A and B are shown apart, each in its own frame.
Chain A
């Protein structure tokens, strides 16, 4: 298919092309003119970027920066929930299934945009609430345009009444803000309620832990702290020290006693014994004995045995010696008794020590128990406090009535109708008509191929074409393009020549 052939086809099928083209354009024009006028009112809201949580005063993560944020907002705006709120705001909440005429009377503002609402609703099935149905109708006329680079969202509402368009656009913005407040508060509220329910159980648990602790303390008579345990511990230490001392002494005494016993066995004198030496009585007796013995020695020299004086002196020495003996025996006895008493004390202290040890261990055990209990109480307290804090916060959040969305421009009744856009429609129809016309021309040619040029014949039939005998009277519309081009060229040349002439003049 050569270009020349295409040109030929279009030239010869120009009627079909033109008729299709004109049909398209004229139809579009009529439809554009006859379509009811639509006024579009616009509200814009700004989604503010305050990253500070109004309740806690903390920096919250910037959710607005998420790419899905604005898209979510758009979905929220286009939700049925918001549309229902708009109905409330427009005082259309009284809308209910009734008589068609009655409805027209009651809600004249709806009649313009949605004529015969009642009938249509019934036709559509008439199931459910008519308000839901109307809400969906409103949504169809709403266009939400989030701006690409900024946090602005624009609402366009189209209606055949400019005032109504503005009212509904504004109502949509308000309803959206209200909904977004609810959306924010609702989860907080649920959380707060949940926290409250948790609080009760936590409080119970805390009280229980505390009561367990106090009962135990009462039971065991332990007040608080570890003073008593410390006292007991020092006592234990003292006792053990005492025991060590006493045991060493006992051992010493024992060794002495053993020594005495061995001396007794061997029949040695006790003179050299420390205790004997230490005993004042014995020393005195000994000094006296020495005196007496000296005296007796004198006497014995002077007197002979049997002399009374001698006898007296001898009797004195002997008695003294007996005394000393008895004194030494006493000392020995005393050592013996000391050993026994020391042993007794040993035993006593050892017993006391064992008792004290048991006591301390017991006390320690109890203290550990108390520590466990009080730790439990503490942790319960801590949990309770934290939950309490969060509960208060969420409760506050749930009652928060501000959002980060604010209305930038309120809608006002537009002066000019936005739809139908006659000019745009015309331009589009010209394009569409052109495409359709070309399509129709090509299709009609395909259905019915005609001889368009010598080339067609020579190509299809494979025979030479001797000539194209054209009209004797040069009907220009039947001429080949080449001739037309020649004509144009001639005219151009003439024109240029004239210009040159005029210049030379």
Chain B
């Protein structure tokens, strides 16, 4: 299922990765090279004898593991995700690695709320804001982006944290240009990268860490967003913490709405309340809050 990066680097108009949705599990496993054709016959014989599914029969014969079946199933149902063994992304992306965990269920709940409250009409951009560092904002942004992409929304994740960017590390995007370079005029918006696993998820990393993040963002982000809104359904923006500067509020005002991220047992209530009040004073809508607890 590997798609070459060079292909994705092209404009992401209507390019679709071919996945045969009608394929059976047996075919998928064959394609993946997990079983040989001779194995298939044994499995089918076992299947007839016991009256179980193909996957279970194969597992019972010890030919494949649970992981292989899961992988095949998610392909069958067009629900891309990664096995723990495939360490291409950071393990923090729970939405990629543990799609059935409670954490990801919670993320899906957040996704549902946001779809109802925000992305229902003209809004396409949303800033994730938190008062200070290490509150799970970047991780939340990345995971939310993944779950948005899993329902077929064309999702763009922008890393606007020009002070300590993290998204390139999470999505394992080594080096290259990013938002700061776009704003500085050294690159254009085509550098938004489609991720290897998730067809509808594009990531715009922060790029080179600039000496003047505040000025850069106030200079050209508005234009960028206007252009990007044409191409994407959902644009999630990861920001730097508000205690480090006004970038986050600026970005939030461009988006018109913000989602507060706070870490349980760490974020100070006072700081959170101050942040919410400042946002509301400047006419930014605080959609709600998400608590992280990991």
Binding site for B on A (CB under 8 A): 12, 448-454, 456-458, 460-461, 463-472, 474-475, 478
Q: Point out the residues of chain A lying under 8 angstroms from B107, CB to CB.
A: 467, 469
B244 at the interface (CB under 8 A from A): no
| Minimal Cβ-Cβ distance residue in A for B269 | A449
Q: Point out the residues of chain B lying under 8 angstroms from A460, CB to CB.
A: 269, 272-273
Contact A470 B288 (CB under 8 A): no
Contact A469 B288 (CB under 8 A): no
B94 at the interface (CB under 8 A from A): yes
A451 to B102, CA, bound (A): 21
Contact A466 B289 (CB under 8 A): yes
| Minimal Cβ-Cβ distance residue in B for A8 | B265
B291 at the interface (CB under 8 A from A): yes
Contact A448 B268 (CB under 8 A): yes
Kindly identify which residue among A12, A450, A475 contacts B268, using a CB–CB cutoff of 8 Å.
A450
- Which 5 A-B pairs rank lowest in CB-CB distance, beginning with the nearest? A471-B294, A467-B106, A472-B94, A464-B288, A470-B293
A460 to B270, CA, bound (A): 9
Q: Point out the residues of chain A lying under 8 angstroms from B136, CB to CB.
A: 469
Q: Point out the residues of chain A lying under 8 angstroms from B103, CB to CB.
A: 469-472
Contact B264 A466 (CB under 8 A): no
Contact B290 A467 (CB under 8 A): yes
Contact A461 B294 (CB under 8 A): no
Rounded to whole Å, the gap between the CB of A312 and the closest CB of chain B is 192
Interface Cβ pair total, 8 Å cutoff: 109
B114 at the interface (CB under 8 A from A): yes
B236 at the interface (CB under 8 A from A): no
A466 and B294 contact, Cβ closer than 8 Å, known pairs A451-B264, A472-B103: no
Contact A469 B286 (CB under 8 A): no
Contact A465 B291 (CB under 8 A): yes
Contact A450 B289 (CB under 8 A): no
A12 to B269, CA, bound (A): 15
Contact A469 B262 (CB under 8 A): no
A468 and B266 contact, Cβ closer than 8 Å, known pairs A457-B289, A461-B289, A463-B286: no
Rounded to whole Å, the gap between the CB of B11 and the closest CB of chain A is 33
Within 8 A of A (CB), among B251-294: 259-260, 262-270, 272-273, 276, 286-294
Q: Point out the residues of chain B lying under 8 angstroms from A471, CB to CB.
A: 103, 293-294
| Minimal Cβ-Cβ distance residue in A for B136 | A469
Rounded to whole Å, the gap between the CB of B32 and the closest CB of chain A is 25
Contact B290 A464 (CB under 8 A): no
A280 to B163, CA, bound (A): 191
Contact B110 A449 (CB under 8 A): no
Rounded to whole Å, the gap between the CB of A321 and the closest CB of chain B is 178
Contact B106 A451 (CB under 8 A): no
Binding site for A on B (CB under 8 A): 94, 97-98, 101-104, 106-107, 109-110, 113-114, 136, 140, 143, 259-260, 262-270, 272-273, 276, 286-294
Contact B262 A466 (CB under 8 A): no
Q: Point out the residues of chain A lying under 8 angstroms from B276, CB to CB.
A: 461, 463
Contact A464 B113 (CB under 8 A): yes
> By DSSP majority rule, is chain A's interface helix, strand, loop, or mixed?
mixed
Contact B273 A466 (CB under 8 A): no
Contact B113 A470 (CB under 8 A): no
Rounded to whole Å, the gap between the CB of A72 and the closest CB of chain B is 63
A467 to B109, CA, bound (A): 7
22 A-B residue pairs with Cβ-Cβ distance under 8 Å, sorted by A, are A448-B268, A451-B265, A452-B264, A453-B291, A461-B273, A464-B287, A464-B288, A465-B289, A466-B113, A466-B114, A468-B264, A468-B290, A469-B107, A469-B110, A469-B291, A470-B102, A470-B106, A471-B103, A471-B294, A472-B94, A472-B104, A472-B294
| Minimal Cβ-Cβ distance residue in B for A9 | B265
Rounded to whole Å, the gap between the CB of B110 and the closest CB of chain A is 4
| Minimal Cβ-Cβ distance residue in A for B293 | A470
| Minimal Cβ-Cβ distance residue in A for B101 | A472
A467 to B140, CA, bound (A): 11
Contact B269 A451 (CB under 8 A): yes
Q: Point out the residues of chain B lying under 8 angstroms from A456, CB to CB.
A: 269
Q: Apart from A466-B109, A471-B294, what are 15 other A-B pairs with CB-CB below 8 Å?
A: A12-B265, A450-B266, A454-B291, A457-B272, A461-B273, A461-B289, A463-B287, A464-B288, A466-B288, A467-B110, A468-B291, A470-B293, A470-B294, A474-B102, A475-B294
Contact B140 A451 (CB under 8 A): no
A458 to B94, CA, bound (A): 26
Q: Point out the residues of chain A lying under 8 angstroms from B292, CB to CB.
A: 468-469
Kindly identify which residue among B113, B143, B262 contacts A457, using a CB–CB cutoff of 8 Å.
B262
Contact A466 B290 (CB under 8 A): yes
Contact B265 A465 (CB under 8 A): no
A215 to B266, CA, bound (A): 119
Rounded to whole Å, the gap between the CB of A459 and the closest CB of chain B is 10
A454 to B260, CA, bound (A): 12
Contact B268 A449 (CB under 8 A): yes
Rounded to whole Å, the gap between the CB of B246 and the closest CB of chain A is 20
A451 to B292, CA, bound (A): 10
Contact A450 B102 (CB under 8 A): no
Rounded to whole Å, the gap between the CB of B145 and the closest CB of chain A is 14
Q: Point out the residues of chain B lying under 8 angstroms from A463, CB to CB.
A: 260, 276, 286-289
Rounded to whole Å, the gap between the CB of B91 and the closest CB of chain A is 8
A78 to B143, CA, bound (A): 79
A450 and B286 contact, Cβ closer than 8 Å, known pairs A463-B276, A469-B293: no
Kindly identify which residue among A12, A450, A465, A472 contacts B267, using a CB–CB cutoff of 8 Å.
A450
Contact B268 A466 (CB under 8 A): no
A467 to B276, CA, bound (A): 18
A450 to B264, CA, bound (A): 8
A474 to B294, CA, bound (A): 9
Rounded to whole Å, the gap between the CB of A366 and the closest CB of chain B is 118
Contact A450 B293 (CB under 8 A): no
Q: Point out the residues of chain B lying under 8 angstroms from A454, CB to CB.
A: 289, 291
Contact B265 A469 (CB under 8 A): no
Q: Point out the residues of chain A lying under 8 angstroms from B286, CB to CB.
A: 461, 463
A475 to B113, CA, bound (A): 26
Rounded to whole Å, the gap between the CB of A190 and the closest CB of chain B is 79
Q: Point out the residues of chain A lying under 8 angstroms from B268, CB to CB.
A: 448-451
A105 to B263, CA, bound (A): 70
Rounded to whole Å, the gap between the CB of B95 and the closest CB of chain A is 10
Q: Point out the residues of chain B lying under 8 angstroms from A469, CB to CB.
A: 103, 106-107, 110, 136, 140, 143, 290-294
A431 to B232, CA, bound (A): 62
Contact B288 A468 (CB under 8 A): no
Contact B293 A468 (CB under 8 A): yes
Rounded to whole Å, the gap between the CB of A475 and the closest CB of chain B is 8
| Minimal Cβ-Cβ distance residue in A for B262 | A451
A460 to B265, CA, bound (A): 15
Kindly identify which residue among B94, B143, B266, B294 contacts A451, using a CB–CB cutoff of 8 Å.
B266
Contact A457 B270 (CB under 8 A): no
Contact B289 A478 (CB under 8 A): no
Q: Point out the residues of chain A lying under 8 angstroms from B102, CB to CB.
A: 470, 474
A12 to B140, CA, bound (A): 23
A465 and B290 contact, Cβ closer than 8 Å, known pairs A450-B267, A452-B265, A460-B273: yes
| Minimal Cβ-Cβ distance residue in A for B260 | A463
Rounded to whole Å, the gap between the CB of B67 and the closest CB of chain A is 17
A12 to B263, CA, bound (A): 13
Kindly identify which residue among B97, B98, B110 contacts A466, using a CB–CB cutoff of 8 Å.
B110
